[in-house]
Amino acid sequence: MIKCNRVHLICMEDRMAATVKEVAKHAGVSTATVSRVINNDAKISVETREKVLESIEVLGYKINNIARSLKTSKTYTIGFICPELANTFFMNIAEGIEKELIKHGYSFIICSSGESKIKEEQRIKLLVEKRVDGIIIIPASNEESYYSWLKENEVPLVLVDRLVEDFSCDAVLSDNINGAYQAIEYLIKKGKRSIGFIGGDMRLTSAKERYEGYLRALSDYCISKNEDIIKFGDFHAESGYVCMKEIANSKNLPECIFVSNYFMHIGAARYVEENNELLKEKLTITGFDDMGFINDVFRNSVLFVQQPMSDIGEKAAQLLMSRINGEEIAYPQVIRLKTKLVDKE
Amino acid sequence: MIKCNRVHLICMEDRMAATVKEVAKHAGVSTATVSRVINNDAKISVETREKVLESIEVLGYKINNIARSLKTSKTYTIGFICPELANTFFMNIAEGIEKELIKHGYSFIICSSGESKIKEEQRIKLLVEKRVDGIIIIPASNEESYYSWLKENEVPLVLVDRLVEDFSCDAVLSDNINGAYQAIEYLIKKGKRSIGFIGGDMRLTSAKERYEGYLRALSDYCISKNEDIIKFGDFHAESGYVCMKEIANSKNLPECIFVSNYFMHIGAARYVEENNELLKEKLTITGFDDMGFINDVFRNSVLFVQQPMSDIGEKAAQLLMSRINGEEIAYPQVIRLKTKLVDKE
DNA sequence: GTGAAAGCGCTAACAT
DNA sequence: ATGTTAGCGCTTTCAC
């Protein structure tokens, strides 16, 4: 009989998740006391605390955050929705988010929207049903989607990288206009007059803003724009390739070209590599985004506008934390982080 | 007074999350019935179902999965721990995971271990406290870590991409040995006799296995190995660069070189691009992993061993689902997915 | 086919 | 400083 009991006890300890109740019993205190110890309540005597801590150790107790969440209505989990996962740019932002979250004991559920508004809405619903404490979104489109519904239901929301038109909301993103402007200005000061432009999907604010910066710089230096060397893609490599090709085939080849993001940069660089030796000698490419090592292999690419990717994620998470914790700060906060122009020559 | 009440009601409906209780009251049924409707219980009359559904609609009821989880002890969430987030290879796997999970109504918390065993253990603890239904890990090291503890506590676990020595566990990964073997064999059949090798961190099984494949192919074709053209890095771009440099400076330059993963490939290609025009003419690079477009810019790289990255993720998630659902399949399952050799010339 | 009621594991008043 | 107790919102027997 005694043996049987022991076996049973061992079973309990080893296999089943112990509860506060069991810990309380083992330590000879109430569940409230156990809870206080877990939550580092100040007014607990040292002896009691140690006794409880020992029981926790012995029983291998692990808190059940589900139960805690039900009681406190906090999950210490946020949602992050981005257009795709296998995208270095987005994932650098994700790393920034994680870095900040971990400090606060938070973790995040990641979802991809596949650049689709419909999917994005589905993911939002999913996250809301999982009771996440807040959501960070890199919007799939420029349309308002489900965001205002989140707002009404008081689910903290921070937009990242892209804004949504006619929808005011907390957001963290790069100063795209001035980032592009500085690059173009730099090129002009180096004597370039003919500067091509490969833009992204103009339904996205980031694409629009970079184009805006390009136009402003041309305008400020009295350089008229030439439609032949201005093309728009969709931020993916293939479109960069196509745009580059179109520009290369235009009558007046530019001296250099500005590409609006990393992936189109790769596409454009590929075109330059595989076609026309002439291009290689003359044309240089300036890229938005710099993923470090990779770009080094493009010999025509020496000027980069670096976005503080990780910082964007960190700031977004910080802002979200502030909202979750109900800090009184003006709404909305739109944080623009400065880019850095780097000449690798 | 009436007005006041209405306002209050609207408030309730708009702002607060309705509960089953409220839905039940509104529909004039019991909470049990509401629950049955939510869970698609068969034996509910059509009228009742519609009545409840309408109330759900009207009140904007959203299920509280926290409460459900507490009751059912299922969270419909799994954890995914990988060495880093900003890594296209890992994230392609993550996309496969997501694709499969979504079918089952699951989502995942993503964590990076930063290639550190300590951090990995912390993340595992975090996930266990969040009561995830299972965990997928790309191990940070070859050591056993916290995995056996998970096993003992019956938390389903699937390893991905790398195995852990002396620890038997469900796993999904590429057939690295034969993947490398085929590439080397192919090169030999094309007449190459001097084939260099750049390996990864040999503490990882994936690195070991690819080296093993290389050695086997040489052996099978009676080619003796030359230590001068065999170097080991750490799977990161910088080390690929360094290894390539060392090989380039060796007395007998190989005709071609096999690089064990994508990132080292980039590093190696960079070295070739920026040094020695001679190299460019003679040396070709064969890479493990193929991220598509990017590699196209490396003119010396034409042969690739493609891993089915997304499939690996999908299979891993599938296997985990089977375990979570308690399906009776032999333990452990080690699933090796075949690679594909692609000659882009 | 539907309702009553217990309880998942925790926290937080409110007592003492 | 510690205990008692009442739920958080849901599911699930067990009745009827």
pLDDT in tens, B241-282: 999 999 988 888 898 999 999 989 888 888 887 776 666 666
Are B50 and B38 in contact, with CB atoms under 8 Å apart? no
Identity of the residue in B62, B70, B266 whose CB atom sits nearest the CB atom of A70: B70
Whether B293 sits inside 8 A of A66 (CB atoms) is no
Is some CB atom of chain A closer than 8 A to the CB atom of B151? no
A345 interfaces chain B, CB cutoff of 8 Å: no
Chain B residues lying within 8 Å of A301, measured CB to CB: none
**Residue A144, pLDDT score:** 81
Angle at A16 between CA A12 and CA A22, to 5 degrees: 65
* Of B247, B248, B255, B261, the residue nearest B188 (C-alpha): B255
Q: Are the C-beta atoms of B132 and B79 separated by less than 8 Å?
A: yes
Q: What is the pLDDT of residues B164-223, one digit of tens each?
A: 999 999 999 999 999 999 999 999 999 999 999 999 999 999 999 999 999 999 999 999
Q: Tell me how far apart the alpha carbons of residues A295 and A262 are, in angstroms, rounded to a whole number.
A: 9
CB-based burial, B315-336: b 16+ in 10 Å, e otherwise: bbbbbbbbbbeeeeeeebeebe
Distance CA A20, CA A36 (A): 11
Which of A65, A95, A298 shows the shortest C-beta gap to B86?
Answer: A95
Contact B286, B261 (CB under 8 A): no
Work out the angle at residue A25's Cα, subtended by the Cα atoms of residues A22 and A27, and round it to the nearest 5 degrees.
105
Q: In chain B, which residue's Cα lies nearest the Cα of A98? A: B111
B298 contacts A297? CB cut-off 8 A: yes
Q: How far is the CA of A76 from the C1' of C13 (A)?
A: 23
- Tens of pLDDT along chain B (345 residues) come to 233 333 333 333 344 678 999 999 999 999 999 999 999 988 899 999 999 999 999 999 999 999 999 999 999 999 999 999 999 999 999 999 999 999 999 999 999 999 999 999 999 999 999 999 999 999 999 888 789 889 888 899 999 999 999 999 999 999 999 999 999 999 999 999 999 999 999 999 999 999 999 999 999 999 999 999 999 999 998 999 999 999 988 888 898 999 999 989 888 888 887 776 666 666 778 878 877 655 666 777 888 999 999 999 999 999 999 999 999 999 999 999 999 999 887
Instruction: State how far the Cα of B311 lies from the Cα of B292, in Å rounded to an integer.
Output: 16
Give the per-residue pLDDT at B249: 87
The answer to whether B127 and B75 have CB atoms below 8 angstroms apart is no
Collect all residues of chain B within an 8 Å Cβ-Cβ radius of residue A297: 266, 269-270, 273-274, 297-298
The reply to whether the CB atom of residue A27 sits less than 7 A from any atom in nucleic acid chain C is no
Protein chain A, residues 58-97, with a C-beta closer than 7 Å to any atom of nucleic acid strand C: 61, 63-64, 67-68, 70-72
Distance, in angstroms, between A266 CA and closest chain B CA? Answer: 7
pLDDT at B96: 98
CA angle (B146 as vertex; B144, B151 as ends), nearest 5: 95
Q: Which bases in strand D are touched by protein, i.e. have an atom under 7 Å from a CB?
A: 1-13
Return the amino acid letter for A48.
Answer: T
Distance from CA(B151) to C1'(C5), angstroms, rounded: 37
Q: Side by side, which strands form the sheet with A256-259?
A: A230-232, A195-199, A256-259, A284-288, A301-306, A340-343
pLDDT value, residue B147:
92
What pTM was computed for the model? Answer: 0.92
The answer to whether some atom of strand D lies closer than 7 Å to the beta carbon of B9 is no
Backbone angles phi, psi at B334, to 5 degrees: -115, 110
Q: How confident is the model at residue A3, as a pLDDT? A: 31
Q: Are A284 and A300 in contact (CB under 8 A)?
A: yes
The residue whose CA lies nearest the C1' of nucleotide C13 is: A32
Do B294 and A66 make contact, defined as CB atoms within 8 angstroms? Answer: no
